Amino acid sequence: MQFVTELVAVIALVFIVVSNLVFAAFTLIAWRTLLNYRRSRESATVDNVFRSPLTPPVSVLIPAFNEEAGIVESVTSLLQLRYPEFEIIVIDDGSTDSTWGVLDSAFDLVDVRRVMAGWLPTKPVTRISVSRKNPSLTVVSKENGGKADALNTGLNIAKYPYFCAIDADAVLEEEALLRAMVPIIENPEVVATGGIVRIANGCEISHGRVIKVGLPRKTLPLFQVIEYLRAFLVGRVGWSSIGALMIVSGAFGIFHRKTVLELGGYWTDTVGEDMELIVRIHREKRAEGVPYKVAFVPDPVCWTEAPSSVRILGRQRRRWQRGLMEAVYRHRAAIFEPRQGVFGRFAMPFFLVIECWGPVFELFGYVIVPVAWLLGVLAVEFMIALLILSIAWGVLLSVAAIALEEFGFRKYPLRRQVIRLTVFSILDNFGYRQITNLWRVQGILQWLRGEKSWGTMTRQGFSQDSRKAKA
């Protein structure tokens, strides 16, 4: 018993040290990266991109299932994007609510006949309509097949060389698409880019625009604000800087359409189609020896509604963990594969050990360490040191993420907002972190059982109406 408990305690300590050291290094990288980005942002790069005749057109794909609560605001925000040429394709994935009806009422749809390319197999399309008010908007109705199947349908219909995949409950800032395309225009080797996703709860949104940025009034979404700042401004900036970005958020990502079609489109047998596609791009491009890059741009902002109930948030986090497990284990052959470079030698092992199985190590640490101390086989000094180290690093990284936000973008300019975020970055370590870890362990168990369901999610929508939507 003593040996087992000591071993588990050591594993928990190693897990905490390694994961936090990596993110500490990424925090330092993020400071340098954001400093350089601020300097470049002060130039006229974005205006030049907007005016350039060489800026490629983009197809914006919005998969939607039961999204009547926020779909009109989302589409409205997209129609107002500052970008030279783009089309919007909403793919109604067999909704059972009034998703189609609210779109028809808002944008005056009329049915058309359009020949679809048979690049990717999908569920049958039953209807295609365009807006009389804005011909750049197309709405497609199809039999339900899931988010990945809906995106593949959009890829079959899209006509431009790049596509932007966003969630139906997302609102993009006016220049978000333009800024996210800058790395692609500057470097043709870039095959995918992603922008930062922020929490819209607490913001004032009107006619598809965030007119006033605020913090959520409820506790759960506020914790998620800090999580997102940590994940994007530290994690994604760090991974992108070493050429091993593993995730481009499904809420806002841009891809080279031909590359995705050549790889077979989105994998439909997963709940983490966004991560799986990026991992597949890395693996295939490195195996072929083809120069490529996956980039993260910290400035283009996508605002999205965060779950505000424990039940819905738990569902989301379990699903995210299942998607992570599915993607890493599907491409596990890339781990330590010599041709895979930093992606296979560092990123994949890190995600396998720290992200996939780390929640289990952490959970055992929460249980075994106190038990070992009660049984007298673990020194109280070790237990206290482990606890202090875990909490201190967690607080430090969260506060650093908030500082990065203030330094780089100042979306929350009021002093009371910064103070509130800082307080919650400390409270995050006393309960919220532990419950999210438990949800992730449950997600691992669901993956082991082979569960595939998405579950449902209640959205208020930007109009504040409570309705049902796909999680």
Is 143 part of any domain? yes
Q: Is 354's pLDDT higher than 50?
A: yes
Is 386 part of any domain? no
Is 421 part of any domain? no
Model pLDDT, residue 465 = 38
Is 256 part of any domain? yes
Q: Is 468's pLDDT higher than 50?
A: no
Is 360 part of any domain? no
Continuous segment of H or E residues that includes residue 233: none
Q: Give the gyration radius of the chain's Cα atoms.
A: 22
| DSSP string for residues in 424-467 | HHHHIIIIIHHHHHHHHHHHHHHHHHT-----EEEE-TTTT--E
Model pLDDT, residue 329 = 96
Model pLDDT, residue 457 = 60
Highest mean pLDDT among 37-41, 56-60, 186-190, 305-309: 56-60
**Overall average pLDDT of the 232-259 stretch:** 94
At which residue do the structure tokens 């409570």 appear? Answer: 466
Q: Is 471's pLDDT higher than 50?
A: no
For 256, list phi and psi in degrees, rounded to 5.
-75, 115
How many separate domains does the chain show?
1
Q: Is 347's pLDDT higher than 50?
A: yes
Domain of residue 63 covers 19-349+456-470
Model pLDDT, residue 102 = 96
Least confident of 30-34, 213-217, 258-262: 30-34
40-53 tens-digit pLDDT: 665 557 788 788 88
Model pLDDT, residue 430 = 87
388-436 tens-digit pLDDT: 777 887 788 889 899 989 888 888 988 999 999 999 999 998 889 999 9
Model pLDDT, residue 464 = 46
What pLDDT band is residue 470 in, cutting at 50, 70 and 90?
very low
What pLDDT band is residue 215 in, cutting at 50, 70 and 90?
very high
Least confident of 204-208, 232-236, 371-375: 371-375
Model pLDDT, residue 38 = 75
What pLDDT band is residue 13 in, cutting at 50, 70 and 90?
low
Instruction: Say if residues 177 and 219 touch (Cβ distance below 8 Å).
Output: no
- The pTM score is 0.91
Is 422 part of any domain? no
Is 5 part of any domain? no
Instruction: State the pairing for strand pair 86-93/137-142.
Output: parallel
Q: State the average pLDDT for the chain.
A: 88
266-283 tens-digit pLDDT: 999 999 999 999 999 999
Percent of the chain scored above 90 by pLDDT? Answer: 64
- CATH number at 464 reads 3.90.550.10
Q: Single out the residue of 125, 116, 15 nearest to residue 355, CA to CA.
A: 15
